[in-house]
């Protein structure tokens, strides 16, 4: 999965930072030294003493694992071991199932003998914009953004569930929900993507009585500045996420690595996702695409995973408001968004 490469990496590292102690019930002895595996399979192996990670190359495949973590990343595919990597008498010891779980499928896949081992697909957080006392934009006929966004998200949830995707919704009904809470809901280790749904609005220019602006826009955030990275909600979300990874307080270095990897992953995935979404969605509903754009919206700044915000149309445009009023149009939209998300989640190979 393309999108998951960095996320998984960071999860791996986060886990590594957190899980410096074997968990109860896990074997604490046995295992195989890294050097043994590297020799046996002629792997090009290296050790990074700063990040405590082992890297192994096999015919262009990169295997990464971290001492203290039971998660392993093979390119963008994640594997879970029965126990963490650990140190023993100056050697890095791999759990006894490392060879079976990681190396053999990798080697066999390269030979084309076995299908790729599927990795777990994480959850998608769907966020209907506005709600409760905050109606968002209101169209000429009175259509409210908060109702449109909730309806599309419910339909989208149903479509994604049909496609086998786990979904979390930030608000299930017409209720107020603060932006910080929306980003907090997305700050869990099993979340892969955050999708916020909104409807657009502009004020008419002085020569016209109505606004003619129309079309679909998808937003992502291209980069965060130092203030963004220090933003209070971002810090709280990072603390929550790393807490859920059971990261120990002393592993500040590992925490920084995880957050940096998360950041890089988010920045590398979101623009492409936004572009594909804008293109696919506009084609599917036969509406003009205004493209994918970088924007510093709160929910895009403060989520730690790849995040996009879809503006499904302009309520300030009477024609577009009419379309958005039609349940069949909203259904078409939900199906198209779901398809793009599913493709993103299930895409294999780079
Ligand atoms: Zn909005």
Rounded to the nearest angstrom, the distance between the alpha carbon of 159 and the centre of ligand 1 is 22
Question: Which pLDDT belongs to residue 251?
Answer: 65
Question: Which pLDDT belongs to residue 18?
Answer: 35
Kindly state the tokens that stand for 303: 């989520």
Could you tell me which residues come within 8 angstroms of residue 235 by beta carbon, excluding any fewer than 6 positions away?
A: none
Rounded to the nearest angstrom, the distance between the alpha carbon of 310 and the centre of ligand 1 is 9
Exposure pattern of 36-59 as b/e (b: 16+ CB <10 Å)? ebbeeeebebeeeeebbbbbbebe
The residue-averaged pLDDT of 242-256 equals: 65
Lowest average pLDDT, out of 32-41, 106-115, 300-309, goes to 106-115
Backbone dihedral angles phi then psi of residue 30, each to the nearest 5 degrees: 85, -165
107-129 tens-digit pLDDT: 665 544 322 323 456 799 999 99
Rounded to the nearest angstrom, the distance between the alpha carbon of 324 and the centre of ligand 1 is 14
Q: Which residues have beta carbons under 5 A from ligand 1 (an ion)?
A: 129, 136, 198
Query: Confidence class of residue 300 from pLDDT cuts 50, 70 and 90?
Result: very high
36 membership: H or E segment, kind and range: helix 34-40
Rounded to the nearest angstrom, the distance between the alpha carbon of 274 and the centre of ligand 1 is 17
Residue (of 197, 150, 199, 148) closest to 316 by Cα position = 199
DSSP 190: T
Rounded to the nearest angstrom, the distance between the alpha carbon of 59 and the centre of ligand 1 is 48
Question: Residue 34: how many CA atoms within 13 Å on its side-chain side?
Answer: 24
Mapping DSSP to helix (H, G, I), strand (E, B) and coil, where does residue 66 land?
A: strand
pLDDT at 152 exceeding the cut of 90: yes
User: In whole angstroms, what is the distance from residue 84 CA to residue 93 CA?
Assistant: 9
Rounded to the nearest angstrom, the distance between the alpha carbon of 312 and the centre of ligand 1 is 10
Rounded to the nearest angstrom, the distance between the alpha carbon of 130 and the centre of ligand 1 is 6
User: In whole angstroms, what is the distance from residue 69 CA to residue 61 CA?
Assistant: 20
**Cα dihedral across residues 103, 109, 46, 26: positive or negative:** negative
217-241 tens-digit pLDDT: 999 999 899 999 999 999 999 988 8
pLDDT at 349 exceeding the cut of 60: no
On whether the CB atoms of residues 197 and 126 are closer than 8 A, the answer is yes
User: In whole angstroms, what is the distance from residue 314 CA to residue 202 CA?
Assistant: 8
Query: Confidence class of residue 250 from pLDDT cuts 50, 70 and 90?
Result: very low
Beta bridge partners, 169, equal: 126
pLDDT at 48 exceeding the cut of 90: no
Domains of the chain by range and CATH?
4-110 (3.30.457.10), 123-346 (3.40.630.40)
User: In whole angstroms, what is the distance from residue 151 CA to residue 175 CA?
Assistant: 13
The residue-averaged pLDDT of 20-45 equals: 66
The residue-averaged pLDDT of 304-321 equals: 95
Compute the CA torsion angle 36, 42, 48, 51 (nearest 10 deg). -80
Name the more confident of 197 and 345. Answer: 197
User: In whole angstroms, what is the distance from residue 316 CA to residue 303 CA?
Assistant: 29
Question: Which pLDDT belongs to residue 15?
Answer: 41
Q: Quick one: what percent of the chain has pLDDT higher than 90? A: 46
Rounded to the nearest angstrom, the distance between the alpha carbon of 193 and the centre of ligand 1 is 19
Could you tell me which residues come within 8 angstroms of residue 168 by beta carbon, excluding any fewer than 6 positions away?
A: 123, 124, 125, 126, 185, 186, 191
User: In whole angstroms, what is the distance from residue 305 CA to residue 269 CA?
Assistant: 9
Name the more confident of 206 and 297. Answer: 297
Question: Which pLDDT belongs to residue 12?
Answer: 45
Lowest average pLDDT, out of 115-119, 271-275, 307-311, 321-325, goes to 115-119
Could you tell me which residues come within 8 angstroms of residue 85 by beta carbon, excluding any fewer than 6 positions away?
A: 54, 65, 66, 67, 68, 69, 70, 92, 93, 94, 95
Residue (of 303, 329, 294, 282) closest to 123 by Cα position = 303
Question: Which pLDDT belongs to residue 113?
Answer: 36
Question: Which pLDDT belongs to residue 244?
Answer: 73
Instruction: For the chain, give the number of residues.
Output: 350
Q: What is the largest CA-CA distance in the chain?
A: 79
pLDDT at 262 exceeding the cut of 90: no
**C-alpha 143 chain-centroid distance:** 31
Question: Which pLDDT belongs to residue 208?
Answer: 63
Kindly state the tokens that stand for 16: 């590594």
Name the more confident of 344 and 273. Answer: 273
Query: Confidence class of residue 80 from pLDDT cuts 50, 70 and 90?
Result: confident
The residue-averaged pLDDT of 43-70 equals: 82
Rounded to the nearest angstrom, the distance between the alpha carbon of 219 and the centre of ligand 1 is 12
On whether the CB atoms of residues 309 and 300 are closer than 8 A, the answer is yes
Question: Which pLDDT belongs to residue 304?
Answer: 93
On whether the CB atoms of residues 125 and 193 are closer than 8 A, the answer is yes
Rounded to the nearest angstrom, the distance between the alpha carbon of 234 and the centre of ligand 1 is 21
Rounded to the nearest angstrom, the distance between the alpha carbon of 213 and the centre of ligand 1 is 16
Rounded to the nearest angstrom, the distance between the alpha carbon of 11 and the centre of ligand 1 is 31
Query: Confidence class of residue 174 from pLDDT cuts 50, 70 and 90?
Result: very high
Rounded to the nearest angstrom, the distance between the alpha carbon of 182 and the centre of ligand 1 is 14
């Amino acid at each position: 999965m393309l999108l998951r490469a960095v996320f998984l990496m960071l999860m791996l590292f986060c886990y590594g930072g957190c899980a410096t102690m074997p968990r109860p019930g896990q074997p604490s002895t046995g295992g195989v030294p890294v050097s043994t595996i590297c020799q046996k399979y002629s792997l090009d192996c290296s050790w990074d003493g700063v990040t405590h990670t082992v890297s192994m190359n096999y015919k262009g495949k990169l295997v990464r694992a971290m001492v203290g973590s039971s998660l392993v990343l093979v390119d963008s595919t994640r594997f879970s071991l029965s126990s963490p990597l650990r140190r023993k008498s100056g050697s890095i010891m791999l759990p006894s199932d490392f060879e079976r779980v990681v190396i053999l499928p990798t080697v066999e896949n390269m030979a084309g003998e076995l299908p790729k081992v599927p990795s777990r697909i994480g959850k998608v957080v769907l966020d209907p914009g506005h709600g409760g006392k905050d109606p968002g934009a209101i169209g000429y006929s009175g259509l409210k953004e908060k109702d449109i966004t909730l309806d599309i998200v419910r339909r989208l949830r149903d479509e994604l569930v049909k496609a086998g995707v786990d979904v979390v919704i930030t608000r299930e009904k017409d209720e107020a929900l603060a932006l910080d809470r929306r980003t907090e809901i997305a700050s869990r280790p099993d979340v892969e993507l955050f999708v916020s749904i909104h409807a657009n609005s502009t004020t008419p220019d002085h020569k016209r009585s109505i606004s003619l602006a129309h079309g679909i826009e998808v937003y992502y955030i291209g980069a965060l500045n130092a203030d963004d990275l220090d933003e209070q909600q971002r810090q709280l979300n990072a603390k929550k996420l790393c807490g859920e990874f059971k990261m120990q307080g002393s592993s500040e270095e590992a925490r920084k690595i995880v957050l940096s990897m998360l950041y890089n992953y988010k920045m590398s995935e979101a623009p492409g996702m936004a572009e594909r979404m804008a293109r696919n969605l506009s084609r599917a509903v036969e509406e003009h695409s205004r493209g994918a754009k970088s924007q510093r919206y709160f929910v895009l700044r403060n989520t730690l995973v790849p995040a996009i915000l879809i503006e499904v149309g302009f309520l300030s445009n009477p024609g577009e408001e009419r379309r958005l009023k039609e349940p069949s149009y909203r259904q078409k939209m939900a199906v198209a968004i779901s398809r793009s998300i599913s493709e993103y989640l299930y895409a294999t190979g780079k």
